[in-house]
Structure 1
Amino acid sequence: MTTVRLSRRAFLAGTSAATLLGATGALPAFAQPAETPKRGGTLTAIIQPEPVTLTPATNTAQPTQVIAGNIFDGLVYYDFDLTPRPSLAERWEVASDGLTITFHLRKGVTWHDGKPFTAADVKWTLENVWKTVHPRNRALFENVAETQTPDEHTVILKLSRPSLPILSVINAVGGPILPRHLYEGTDLLNNPYNNKPVGTGPFVFKEWKKGEYILLERNPNYWDPGKPYLDKIVFRVITDAAARAAAIEKGEVLYAPFNPVPFRDVERLAKLPNLKVETRGYEWLSPVLYLDLNVENTHLKDVRVRRAIAHALDREAIAKVVWFGYGKPAISPVPSTLASFFDDSVPRYAFDPRKAEALLDEAGFKRGADGTRFTLTHDPLPYGDDYRRTGEYLKQALKRVGIEVNLRAQDSAAFIKRVYVDRDFDISSSYNAAFPDPQIGVVREFWSGWLGTGTPWTNGSGYRNARVDEIIQSAAIAGDPAQRVKLFKEFQQIAVSDVPTLPLLELKFFTVHAAHLKGAVAQGDQVYAGLKNAWIDDGPRQN
């Protein structure tokens, strides 16, 4: 069989190859540590906010995935150019018609409890998790008609129709594999192992002291010889931004992802010789900051009001002033980083308060005697000061056009329940990772099939559009990449015109870590991957 190596871009562009085989498991040359790694040590990291659960199979919240990427392995991981590389799958083949994908699993892998990892775990997880409750994967894997396991180390997916995005979403958190022996026959959503997870990854869960820390320890039986290098990782919960910055500066914390400190501190910290500010490791995400406008609200159900809000906001100011340049204005829910899908011709909502006022007048919402047209509540994503400041900007901007905004604050669990379960909100802010294909991270915000499920980060606006649903379902099964691009461009035209969800910024996250922490960023999905390549260079050690 001929080995054909394809980049993620080439695969999605529809290169017709009979096979797509995994490359070697080695890190690419540019990611190889320049020095010999040292074994041992405890890495103190920051997790903010505290996770609601530790298993990404049912919850795709940022803090859950940061932790889980260290505990679980995926079938693959992703390089900086988003090429899939072998992990639990040593190699794989895609049939020329796109209807069969065969994974050859790594032998000798065990779960943290010592039980063998086999093809049965993959089959059970795909059928009972990915196709049912996983917030991103239901639509991606619905075309898998049958999962065959001819032996313990082979998984064959038989598809009713091609599903091109599958190979872009099967890393540790995109396609988390659960131990069948601990989940089969249980209540999946309430299984106790959701909060004391058992994986195959480089670190083993040991303790979660709520409000303080999550402790992971080195997996002594990890399949990748010699790794991980660290003995322990302690993820500390530090809710105050200033306290986080101080802990990092003092060296009490060595690793902190996802914009852990206020933007005003970044430039100063980057100049310190003991720290590094790193923007690599987020390539797999392509994150977009957006507002969900509850279309069931008396005022927001009128598209003219939603368009007025779009015109009332200055995205350039949000990017430069609120986010300190760590983002750029977004015009579509599909970010420009997904170049082959992105449609630059979508309707534009230029910053124009006068246009906003005219639309509000046209919709029948005149200013009252006090200058106010109506009042809305806004629930910022409770992930730190960046989102709170975005909410404060929204309050000021909408007040200028006669809309009063009340800001509410709550923890992550209350935010999820309010927005996605109770739907007791008017405007919420959040961000979604678009990932390498819109089918993975974008359409979940617009597909009506998620309504009523209470699933976080899916269709928070309550949007229903029959044509959009049809496009999403057609793109999921289209085997022709050109046809998928055409469908997604039509999708963007409708979604941006209807504006149930208002894209604000294409975000650029950063990580702050100690200069003597080596190998902390080694791949394109690093922030959601295990720190098995990380090691602490604390100088010569005595034998």
Structure 2
Amino acid sequence: MSKSFEMNRRGFLGSLAAAGLVPAGMVASGPALAQDAGGILRTPFWPAPTYLNSAISTSGPESFLSPKFYDGLLGYESGMVPKPSLATAWEISEDGLTVTFTLREGVTWHDGEPFTSHDVAFTFMEVLKVHHGRGVNTFANLTSVDTPDDYTAVFNLSKPSPAMMRALDSRECPILPAHLYEGTDIMENPVNTAPVGTGPFKLESYEIGSAVVMVPYEDYWDEGYPLLDRFIVQFVPDPATRAAMLESGQTDAIFLGMIPTQEILRIAEMDGFEMTTTGFEAMPSGLQLEFNLENEILANKLVRQAIAHAIDTNWILENVFYGMGQTGASPLHYDQRPFYTTEGVPSYPFDLAKANELLDEAGYPRGEGDMRFKLMLDPSPWGTESINSSAYIREVLRQVGIDVEVRQQDFAVFVTTVWTERKHDLVLYTATMGVDPTIGVHRFYLSSNFQPGTGFSNGAHYDNPEVDELLNAASIEMDEEARIAQYAEFQQIAYEDLPIVKMVDIAAAPTLASTRVHDFAPDALGALGSLKQTWVEQ
């Protein structure tokens, strides 16, 4: 017997609120109840995006902006409960090898063309399986998408894919217009920066590096939404300026921790502001230091383990993240339960003496200037955490004789330097781990995910056949206990090899907003969703 799903969103949320499981204020009121709905929402952001399309880039700016223009097949309520979006119903075969989606009728693209199953098939087979950093793994077993009619899409899988049904939202898998992408160079298509979606907002203007202005799509399928009259995202590089803009009323909300944590905590205590960490179940994230194993020095496991011992990750947690998270202890995030474990996983406590001992054993004695060798560290310009952490890492590694140069670049150059040109030694960045390890973690460790040109993939060039076998098996295993065992063994092996050392498992990124802003964290995606329910008091 197959499993079928069809859900009424308002009824579902209403039942949760009635049961006291979610605050009543978190239930989107809808246009009829939000009598003052509308307004202009202004938010600063950084870095500026390379694209406005998260189907071809998993970086932070694209992940925030793209879901406003595009829809996914599904959305997710709190608890990652699936809800309809472009798909109104779905059915999974008993063997897990076929998923049939019934698509919403009457939906149009922003240019007026009709949305059909052909758009779904094209997006998954030609874009997400090929160009999306996480999609390469998530949809590895997707062999074809049948389109028996305009409103039916049948996913055919070579093997079961338990993670797939948790990855079909507008951020992770935005559906693209086939009529504008077919027959083109996907990565160079001008629609990537002039989006034409089915989502609640359409592009009014885009000044590269300066601002994106969105306005409601008048023919949006979800009648009455979006509630905002205009949505303005301004790209502001200085975090102190972003904080001052919020405090002075020049902007209305800060999403995804776009100002330093100490400023978030300070402003949250002021009248007229509120903070929440809800609405980010779909993005457990971690700060991780990745080694380029093509570097002869870093190819030596003893060196990598020495560097891990030389860094006090608790210092970074307390001084950069202000305690909002846990120190890293595994390739997985602590919120990726039940798969996360530290049992049997090698640990690297802060120990400068041990670090020096390992570096000596690796054959790198101190030389001129008391240094052993020199490395380049590239911190991500996303937010402030990587840059602030890199200053500490540079100084502490000097204490064990490693001369580290920190190279700061804008986001596009950073991605190109690390994942395309591979002109790096160490790279420090925040990574989304995913609601399932298959979605977010596999991409960093599978040898098949070494794909120069694809950002936030296997940049270490890590290749361990045993790890490949474990991860490939876990991606199709339907028995949860068996998956738990597979991931436990993976964590032990990967943290012994240590192509990546986790600095911090970050707690949910806080949203800080004026109390005039309403319904900004309505579901599991929070600010990484459409924000179509959000409105601002006039």
Distance 1:284 1:102 in 2: 23
Equivalent residue of 1:305, what SS? helix
Find the aligned partners of 2:4 and 2:361 in 1 and give their Cα distance. Answer: 56
Superposed CA deviations along residues 86-119 of structure 1, whole A, max 9, x for unmatched, are: 1111111111211111111111111111111111
Give the equivalent residue in structure 1 for 2:320.
322
- 1:86 correspondence with 2:78: no
Q: What displacement does 1:470 show?
A: 2.1
Aligned equivalents of 1:203, 1:489: Cα separation in 2: 43
Report what 2:211 is aligned to.
213
**Equivalent of 1:256, from 254, 257, 269?**
254
How far the C-alpha of 1:422 sits from its partner, in A, is 1.0
Aligned counterpart for 2:142 among listed residues 144, 161, 166:
144
Partner of 2:503: 504
In the alignment, is residue 428 of structure 1 matched against residue 427 of structure 2? yes
Deviation at 1:144, TM superposition (A): 2.0
Equivalent residue number for residue 342 of structure 2: 344
User: Which SS does the other structure have where 2:490 is aligned?
Assistant: helix
Measured in 2, the distance between the counterparts of 1:248 and 1:511 equals 12
SS of the residue 2:160 aligns to: coil
In 1, the alpha carbon distance for the partners of 2:432 and 2:77 equals 17
User: Match for 1:388: what amino acid?
Assistant: I
Contact 2:137 2:442 in 1 (8 A): no
Residues 314-463 of structure 1: matches in 2 within 5 Å? 314-345=312-343, 346-463=345-462
Matched with 1:467 is: 466
Query: Which residue of the partner structure matches residue 241 of structure 2?
Result: 243
Q: Residue 240 of structure 2: SS of its match in structure 1? A: helix
Identity percentage over the alignment?
A: 36
Whether the 8 Å contact between 1:311 and 1:349 is mirrored in structure 2 is yes
In the alignment, is the contact (CA less than 8 A) between 1:54 and 1:67 conserved in 2? yes
Deviation at 1:211, TM superposition (A): 2.4
- C-alpha distance in 2, partners of 1:144/1:490? 26
CA contact (8 A) 1:37 1:535 kept: no
Q: Partners of 1:450 and 1:350 in 2: how far apart?
A: 29
Displacement, 1:316?
Answer: 1.2
- The one-letter code of the counterpart of 1:32 is V
Decide which moves more: 303-312 or 458-467. 458-467
Trace 1:278-293 onto structure 2 (pairs within 5 A): 278-293=276-291
Give 2:266's match in structure 1, choosing from 268, 286, 294.
268
The residue that corresponds to 1:129 in the other structure is: 127
Aligned with residue 111 of structure 2, among 108, 113, 120: 113
Distance 2:37 2:218 in 1: 12
Compute the displacement of 1:149 (Å).
Answer: 1.6
Deviation, structure 1 residue 447? 1.4
Distance 1:69 1:248 in 2: 23
Cα deviation, residue 370, structure 1: 2.6
Tell me if structure 2 keeps the 8 A contact 1:51–1:63: yes
SS in 1 for 2:3: coil
- Give, in whole Å, the separation in 1 of the partners of 2:184 and 2:122: 13
Amino acid at match of 1:23: M
What aligned pairs does 1:48-63 form with structure 2 within 5 A after superposition?
48-63=46-61
Amino acid in the other structure paired with 2:282? W
Q: Using a 3 Å threshold, how does the CA distance of structure 1 residues 105 and 179 change in structure 2: closer, same or farther?
A: same
* Whole-angstrom CA distance in 1 between matches of 2:6 and 2:391: 47
Q: Partner amino acid for 1:144?
A: L
Contact map agreement 2:38 2:537 (CA 8 A) in 1:
no
Q: Is the 8 A contact 2:451 2:457 kept in 1?
A: no
Q: Which residue of 2 aligns with 1:535?
A: 535
The amino acid across from 1:293 in the alignment is F
Measured in 1, the distance between the counterparts of 2:142 and 2:34 equals: 44
CA contact (8 A) 2:37 2:537 kept: no
Return the offset for 1:463: 1.1
Letter in 2 for 1:384: G
CA distance in 1, matches of 2:449, 2:205: 34
Indicate yes or no: 2:27 matched with 1:32: yes
Which residue pairs with 1:493 in the alignment? 492
- Match of 2:469, SS state, is helix
Q: Which of residues 170, 173, 177 is equivalent to 1:172? A: 170
User: What corresponds to 2:5 in structure 1?
Assistant: 21
1:37 is displaced (CA, Å) by: 4.6
Counterpart in the other structure of 1:522: 522
**Residue 40 (structure 1) shift:** 2.6
Displacement after TM superposition at 1:125 (Å): 1.1
- Equivalent residues in 2 for 1:155-166, closer than 5 Å: 155-166=153-164
Q: Secondary structure at the match of 1:428?
A: strand
What is the deviation of 1:184? 1.0
Q: 1:33 offset after TM fit, Å? A: 4.3
Matches within 5 A, 1:289-304: 289-304=287-302
Contact 2:56–2:128 (CA under 8 A) maintained in structure 1 = no
- Which residue identity lines up with residue 19 of structure 1 in the other structure? K
Query: Aligned-pair RMSD on alpha carbons?
Result: 1.5
Equivalent residue for 1:197, pick from 186, 191, 195: 195
CA contact (8 A) 1:319 1:328 kept: yes
Measured in 2, the distance between the counterparts of 1:425 and 1:453 equals 13
* TM norm structure 2: 0.94
| Corresponding pairs, count | 522
TM-score (ref. length: structure 1): 0.93
Report the alpha carbon displacement of residue 267 of structure 1 after superposing the two structures with TM.
Answer: 2.3
**Structure-to-structure mapping, 1:59-70, within 5 angstroms:** 59-70=57-68
What is the rounded CA distance, in whole Å, between the counterparts of 2:6 and 2:426 in structure 1?
A: 44
User: Any idea what the Cα deviations from partners look like across 1:165-223, whole Å, max 9, x if unmatched?
Assistant: 11010000211111011111111111110110111111001211122210111111111
Cα distance, 1:369 vs structure 2 = 4.8
**2:483 is paired with a residue of what secondary structure?**
helix
The one-letter code matched in structure 2 to 1:303 is K
Tell me the SS of whatever aligns to 2:5: coil
Contact map agreement 2:69 2:199 (CA 8 A) in 1: yes
Deviates more, 1:361-370 or 1:61-70: 361-370
The 8 Å contact of residues 91 and 100 in structure 2, kept in 1 or not, is answered as yes
Query: By how many angstroms is 1:160 displaced?
Result: 1.7
Q: CA deviation at 1:323?
A: 1.6
Q: Name the counterpart of 1:183.
A: 181
- Measured in 2, the distance between the counterparts of 1:285 and 1:263 equals 18
Letter in 1 for 2:431: N
Instruction: Answer yes or no: is the 8 Å Cα contact 1:37–1:229 preserved in 2.
Output: no
- In the aligned structure 1, how far is the partner of 2:145 from the partner of 2:420? 32
